[in-house]
C-alpha cells in the first residue's frame, strides 16, 4: 500500500511540474523590435545604438552596446527590424546576446541575424547595412531598457 501511495504522489508531482513548464511556455509572448546599430573597429571593434521594443501596444526605448573580437575593419550602420519572441514582459528583452559572423558592406548591404539571450528571448532580425566594413568576428551585444 505504501508503494502505491508513493507512486501516485510521484505521478501527481511530475504532472504538476510538467504543467508548470508547459504553462509558462504557453504564456510566452512576442513583440516587434527596431534597432539602429553603429559598428566600427580596427581589429577589435565596438558597436552601439538605440532602438524600440513594441510590446502589447506600448513602446519601450532600448539602448545597445557591445564589443567585437576578431577581425573588424571599417565602419557601418545597420537598421534592423524584426520580431522578438519567448518573452513575458518587456524586461525579458534586456540581456546579453552573442553571435559569430562574417560579413562585408561596400556602401550598401543586407543582414539577417537570429540571437538569443540568457532569458530565452529570441531576436529574429533583418536589416540594411550602410558603410564600408569587413568582419570575421565574435560579437557580444548588450540590450537594456532605458
Q: What is the pLDDT of residues 132-142, one digit of tens each?
A: 877 776 677 89
Longest dimension (CA), the chain: 77
**Which tens digit of pLDDT belongs to each residue from 51-81?**
999 999 999 999 999 887 777 888 989 899 9
Predicted model pTM: 0.74
The domain that contains 131 carries what CATH number?
A: 2.40.128
22 in any annotated domain:
no
Assess if residue 138 is contained within a domain. yes
What are the start-end ranges of the E strands in the chain? 29-42, 44-55, 58-87, 95-116, 122-145
Measure the CA–CA gap between 71 and 85, rounded to whole angstroms: 31
Domain of 124 in residue numbering reads as: 29-145
On whether residue 120 sits in a domain, the answer given is yes
Amino acid at each position: 500500500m505504501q508503494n502505491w501511495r508513493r507512486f501516485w504522489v510521484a505521478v501527481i508531482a511530475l504532472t504538476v511540474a510538467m504543467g508548470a513548464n508547459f504553462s509558462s511556455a504557453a504564456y510566452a509572448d512576442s513583440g516587434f523590435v527596431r534597432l539602429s546599430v553603429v559598428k566600427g573597429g580596427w581589429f577589435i571593434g565596438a558597436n552601439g545604438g538605440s532602438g524600440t521594443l513594441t510590446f502589447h501596444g506600448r513602446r519601450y526605448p532600448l539602448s545597445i552596446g557591445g564589443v567585437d573580437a576578431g577581425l573588424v575593419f571599417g565602419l557601418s550602420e545597420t537598421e534592423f527590424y524584426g520580431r522578438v519572441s519567448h518573452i513575458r514582459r518587456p524586461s525579458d528583452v534586456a540581456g546579453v546576446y552573442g553571435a559569430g559572423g562574417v560579413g562585408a558592406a561596400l556602401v550598401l548591404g543586407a543582414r539577417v541575424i537570429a540571437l538569443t539571450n540568457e532569458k530565452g528571448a529570441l531576436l529574429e532580425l533583418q536589416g540594411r547595412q550602410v558603410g564600408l566594413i569587413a568582419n570575421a568576428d565574435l560579437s557580444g551585444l548588450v540590450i537594456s531598457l532605458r
